[in-house]
Structure 1
Amino acid sequence: MAISSKTRKFLWAKSGNRCAVCKVELITKKTTLNEFNIGEECHIISSKPNGPRHIPDLKEYDIYENLLLLCRNHHKEIDEFTDTYTEELLRYVKTSHENWIKNTISKAVEDTENEYKPKFIMRILSGKELLNIVNEAHAYNTDYDDIKDHEEAQYIGSIIQTFIDYGDISGMVEAYDKIQMGYDLQKLLDELEEKGYYVFGERNPEAILPHISKTDKWTVATIIIRKKENPEVLIFFQNT
């Protein structure tokens, strides 16, 4: 069994095109015309009996959880020095690196919010439209009205987290599952409207986040939840 294209895509996205050990960019432009790829997908547990950190009869070896994105030098190093680079250490490296990527992008989006925040964005009317906005986004720019109590904080927080979770897993599911996800999101939009909220959003597929790279482009999904009585919402409906 080989690494699937979906698993490979998810690994590269979560790793941010950087080595989990040294953080070097793995696909870079060496000239104005050519790109140079030094990235390698490393198995934490090898499927080969004499391979690094091998565990016999493991159910699956080519899943995302068993893969680590590295530069060529560190791939060679961790597979040669297995006493140092144990399974536990590599899983820690993987988790720490992917959290670093996520937090760095989120910080970059926050710091440059005024630059990328749209002046006017449309209301999201369907679950399919919402899924298209969050689909495989690298980062999320979210906003909501002032919270009145703990119950509302829990509710709005869970809704925003659900939108983000759907965006994160959307690249790993089949077409049938995406249709179901769109349906589930539609029910959430209907529920929000019944409770007195509207959802607005847009997708920026070519945002450059200077804190990460001056050349790489990242997809940023903007999701804003507003109460119906918010003056911004009233102005929106006056202009539509």
Structure 2
Amino acid sequence: MPISDKVRKKLWAKSGNRCAICKAELFSKEAADETLNIGEECHIISSAENGPRHKDGLLNYDSYENLLLLCRNHHKEIDTLIDSYTEDLLMYMKSNHENWVRNTLDQSLGKEEKIQPKLLTRMTSGKELLSILFGIQGCRTDYDEASTEEESEFIGSIFQTLSDYADLSGMGIEPFEKVKIATQLSQLLKELELKGYFLFAERVVENILHNGQKLDNWAIATLILKKADSSEIIML
């Protein structure tokens, strides 16, 4: 069954004509013909038996819920690195991107933003964390106050390591190197848990002002290190 026009329109509208990963504009209003359309409607779960993330028994593989709008480069990447881009991660990225589109449009129209509690996802796998760190242009950090010098040095070393990985990921690394980094990040998360810490993170795209210059569509990561017994952690 092909993707229906109704589903296609809904996907493009909710995605804001932007790639869900890099936020690149997919179809320019200045385009003279359709060859300049770099957007692709990607299946999260493939209908093909040997396709990426395939599962049997899905009633409609061409439903809106199973589609993600991406540029050609990132479509190829998610279908090549299937161990890194899992079904759950892509579902999260789809929801996060569509929320970003809606909030950006609301702000541009001057709508009052509803005050909502800030919820960040706990990082439990290296590939999930790498997807947030990959190619970021800025990072915000926060942590529970350290009670000893040793604890302070440990927290500092963790954020420095994450910063180093973020810098490395933006240098055009090969796919096999991404898998290696994801494994190293998984080991880091296990070390944190043994030390009694959880890492929470999110990735957003913002327009920022730097040295008087407006910078559009910057990928910003937020990393928060909390003690496992913190009262601020909410189990959902």
Q: Given the two structures, how large is their TM-score scaled by the length of structure 1?
A: 0.48
Structure with bigger helix share is 1
Q: Given the two structures, how large is their TM-score scaled by the length of structure 2?
A: 0.49
